[in-house]
Amino acid sequence: MHMQRLDDVSPHDSSQPAVGGRAKRIMDLAIAVPALVVLSPVLVLIAILVRRDSPGPAIFKQRRAGLHGNEFDLLKFRSMVDGAESIGSGLTVQVNDDRITKLGRLLRRTSLDELPQLINVVRGEMSIVGPRPTIASQISRYTDEQRRRLDARPGITGLAQVRGRASLPWSTRIALDLEYINGWSLRSDLTILARTLLVVVRGSDTYRGEVAPFDLPERSPAEEQDPARH
């Protein structure tokens, strides 16, 4: 799939390899490809149930910013009414949000709605573990340091997801993502993956502020142009 570069998203060289390089990519494929094969009957069943549960497509697509700011279509099973982004609280998902379908509540509680992102992993747009992908409009508020978050492929799960998940404000999530990037290893990926399973089983913080709170302040034109102020 063709990927478009976001203008002035990252000060870093987009020709540099992603965090973890080839070793991480091999691990991603070693997990994602067999998982897709084994789970294909489950994926088909869920898709059928989503279509029967409420009108609309089975798969929800949303443009997100990934590695080096390249945009891609994030894939999820649709867990809300069709067109939910344009009604109610928009991108923000509230506790007991009435836009979430009956089946959607189960999918979100069990994180089964995230399974189609295994396709994103195989395509090379995402990794099994990494910073969760953000929408492009949020990146304009990043400092240069925070934009280092874009040096890693976004992940299905990540360090922030096992240390508080959606209950954390974005400034804290980004700090944890940078901690992950600075200390990356295959062992850390496997540890985060194991801890993710525990978070999913417990089902905590599934709905609370899934996109919000986004607490990064607006940046003035002077701040965007003067790196010394970042």
**pLDDT values of the chain reduced to their tens digit, one per residue, 230 residues:** 444 444 444 444 566 789 999 999 999 999 999 999 999 999 999 999 999 999 999 999 999 999 999 999 999 999 988 887 767 656 666 666 788 899 998 998 888 999 999 999 999 999 999 999 988 888 889 999 999 999 999 999 999 888 877 778 888 999 999 999 999 999 999 999 999 988 777 765 544 444 446 777 776 555 555 443 43
**pTM of the full structure:** 0.83
Contact 3, 71 (CB under 8 A): yes
Tokens for 225, please give them.
């142009």
Contact 192, 225 (CB under 8 A): no
Contact 102, 78 (CB under 8 A): no
Dihedral over Cα of 175, 176, 177, 182: its sign: positive
Query: Of all helices (H) and strands (E), which one includes residue 34?
Result: helix 21-53
Q: Which residues pair with 196 in a beta bridge?
A: none
pLDDT at 19: 95
